[in-house]
Amino acid sequence: MSDRAKSGEEAVLRWTSVVGARPQFVKAAMIGRAVRRHNAARPAVRVAETLIHTGQHYDPGLSQVFFDQLDIRPPRINLGVGSGPHGRQTAEMLTGLESALAADRPDLVVVYGDTNTTLAGALAAAKLGIPIAHVEAGLRSRNMRMPEEINRVVADRLAALLFCPTREAVANLKAEGLGARARLVGDVMYDAFLHYKARARADSRILAGLNLTPRGYALATVHRQENTDDPERLRALFEAFNRIAAPDFPLIIPLHPRTRNALRALRPRTALAPAVIVTPPISYLDMIALEAEAAVVLTDSGGVQKEAAFAGVPCLTLRGETEWPETVAAGINRLVGADPGRIARGVRAARTAGGRRGAVRGLYGNGAAADRIVDILAKRFGARAPERG
């Protein structure tokens, strides 16, 4: 503890959270709530958090709705980078973030997950000599062809503190010589699921709006580059969706802009069966409601894999590997790639099992990960935080 803290004077730890994509908004919402709880307790070190939004996700259904629905304070800056090739997108983020961070000179930069926003935030802070904390550190798919794997590995190398959601993540970091920086705190996304699931059940009207019955439909999401940028894989996935969907068992797919554009570019185009119901991107609460009542979830998203596990809903991962292997070990997740036969068999098995395996308990903490993160950061960096007028 600093001398100032001992004397009862207030120090202020100023940090900047860098966000840009759906899962980061959810995590930042929980960290923001934890910051408010921390400050309400009148601590010796108060936290002043600023948000920078890179604009990586700019569609209102993937961005603004999360700020509105999850009570996230508006970002101080929105860089408005948008989509584009990885190199150009990351370069534009890096340019904007370097300028903003150089002007603000926060005591700390917090990055989340594994997107290009994560990479750019970590690089910009490291170049400026600003300490970095990485929330959701230590995940590994072992597939370096995935842009997300590159992003998370680089962020972990640069960060001073690595906040791990699972024991597996801590073990990964120890194997890479980064164990001294690792802290097992639990999963901030699990915090969010526990906090918002009752509200989603009460407020969401999406099942009624789509005329769905609980456990009478499948839910799918596709957005990873390995699926959207490979025409044969993309065609195989949507052929599988056509095989799964039936009048009495529709398949719902909230369509990511990247996937929508890739489908338009397919030649010849793949016609969708009438029971494949395509929607625009949906809000977090609607997504939680759909996941909780689905018979089976099909996804290439790491976050959706976990949310299915939180809800106890069988998941089929549309990839050959996962950064969440504990879900596979628990029997609630199955890796099926883009093989229509494996996908169809996985759906049949999930429906035969009754659409439930039981929620995965104890793997992701107890819902207090965000509070632990804020407490650790305040203690670690608060001793050096200057008094602010």
Q: Per residue in 110-164, pLDDT tens?
A: 999 999 999 999 999 999 999 999 999 999 999 999 999 999 999 999 999 999 9
Please provide residue 301's backbone torsions phi and psi, each rounded to the nearest 5 degrees: -90, 130
pLDDT digit string (tens) for the chain, length 389 residues: 344 444 456 799 999 999 998 889 999 999 999 999 999 999 999 999 999 999 875 555 556 777 888 888 889 999 988 877 888 999 999 999 999 999 999 999 999 999 999 999 999 999 999 999 999 999 999 999 999 999 999 999 999 999 999 999 999 999 999 999 999 999 999 999 999 999 999 999 999 999 999 999 999 999 998 999 999 999 999 999 999 999 999 999 999 888 999 998 988 888 899 999 999 999 999 999 999 999 999 999 999 999 999 999 999 999 999 999 999 999 999 999 999 999 999 999 999 876 555 567 789 999 999 999 999 999 999 866 554 43
Q: What pLDDT is stored for residue 238 in this prediction?
A: 96
Question: In the numeric block, which tokens belong to residue 181?
Answer: 């920086």
Q: For 102-139, b where at least 16 C-beta lie within 10 A, e where not — what string?
A: eeeebbbbbbbbbbbbbbbbbbbbbeeebbbbbbbbbb
Looking at residue 387, its pLDDT comes to 46
pLDDT of residue 356: 54
Which entry of 38, 57, 223, 256 is annotated as an active-site residue? 223
Which pLDDT score is estimated for 133? Answer: 98
User: Which sequence spans correspond to the domains of the chain?
Assistant: 3-187+365-382, 199-352
Q: Write down the pLDDT at residue 1.
A: 39
pLDDT at position 64 is: 77
Here the tokens at position 271 are 């016609």
142, with CB counted inside 10 A (0-12, 13-18, 19+), is exposed
The domain covering 199-352 belongs, at the CATH homologous superfamily level, to: Glycogen Phosphorylase B; (3.40.50.2000)
Q: What pLDDT sits at residue 58?
A: 59
pLDDT at 254: 96
C-alpha triplet 273, 277, 278: angle, nearest 5° = 110
Instruction: Please tell me the predicted confidence (pLDDT) of residue 48.
Output: 97
Q: Is 223 a catalytic residue?
A: yes
Same fold, 3-187+365-382 and 199-352: yes
pLDDT of residue 2: 40
**CATH code of the region 3-187+365-382:** 3.40.50.2000
User: What is the model's pLDDT at position 155?
Assistant: 98
